[in-house]
Amino acid sequence: MGLNALSRQRARQARSAVTRWWGQARHDTAEDPELVAQLRRRLRRARAAAEREKAEKERLRRELRTTRVSLRNPFPEIELPATVLAVADTVVAEQLSYLRRENLLALAAVVREADLAGREGLVIEAGTALGGSGIVMASAKAPTRTMRVYDVFGQIPSPSDRDGEDVQQRYEVIAAGAARGVGDDLYYGYRDDLLGEVTASYERLGVPLDDHRVELVRGLFQDTLEVDEPVAVAHLDGDWYDSTMTCLERIAPRLVPGGRLVLDDYYHWSGCRTAVDDYFAGRTGFQLEHRARLHVVRR
């Protein structure tokens, strides 16, 4: 007999036993009003206890939902415009990002908060893949705020000996032409004109580059990432040690008070994690927030 069948059999046996007990109890108490009243009081107390337990479970469910949201999003109270929500939905539907919808909206909230707080500075994305996260961030920011998106717009550069075995193995797959993209689509690094595709995606999703002051900067981070002005928000998705360290060395000193770095790969790739740990070891003036993605806030 299977487990489900056995469970159903035991449930039937239990119901039958309860029915027999209740029938006997009704017979035994028919002539005893005091016992009937006592049983009714016990029943009311049991029902009240069950209602309290039900209410407590619902409270815990609400608290868990709130905790999950706050782990992803440091600003859950910020209401995003419908246009931003629509852009995020399209990014997910078109598989333009490895990030889930809730993580895309968390990035949008970080950008939106910088505007609401009146915080000056650039929005930066370093590493954009198919462009989806950058498009969502651009849709959330004020059109007058400059955003720069840095990427090789091609195959990711090789890791170094500072990256762990996980990174080395992943790169072997990429270099062999065996990597798969979002939803098992063609991996972004194998596309013939990734820059053209990303540019077209901004336009198609209603976030034209010129109208939103977005600049796509092509090349290796060490060759192109020169920051000489304040930074309000930076989303760093460089994967490996060297690229992450380059981003930190060139962006973190420019971060304004209250400005925020969001590191996409801290929990995913050893090289990124080691670079972050090395850079911030003994360094003051920054607060690390361990959320669904690592956030670093300038004090």
Supply the pLDDT for residue 296.
97
Residue count of the chain? 299
CATH of 80-298 among 1.20.58.2030, 1.10.10.60, 3.40.190.10, 3.40.50.150: 3.40.50.150
Question: Helices 241-251 and 270-280 meet at what angle, rounded to 10?
Answer: 30
pLDDT tens column, 204-263: 999 999 999 999 999 999 999 999 999 999 999 999 999 999 999 999 999 999 999 999
- Does the pLDDT at position 288 exceed 50? yes
2 to each of 13, 14, 15, how far by Cα in Å? 17, 18, 20
Q: Which of 159, 196, 193 is nearest to 174 (CA)?
A: 159
Q: Which of 2-16, 127-141, 209-223 has the lowest mean pLDDT?
A: 2-16
**What's the start-to-end Cα distance of the chain, in Å?**
64
Supply the pLDDT for residue 182.
92
Confidence label for 52 from pLDDT (cuts 50, 70 and 90): confident
Per-residue pLDDT averaged across 168-173, rounded?
Answer: 98
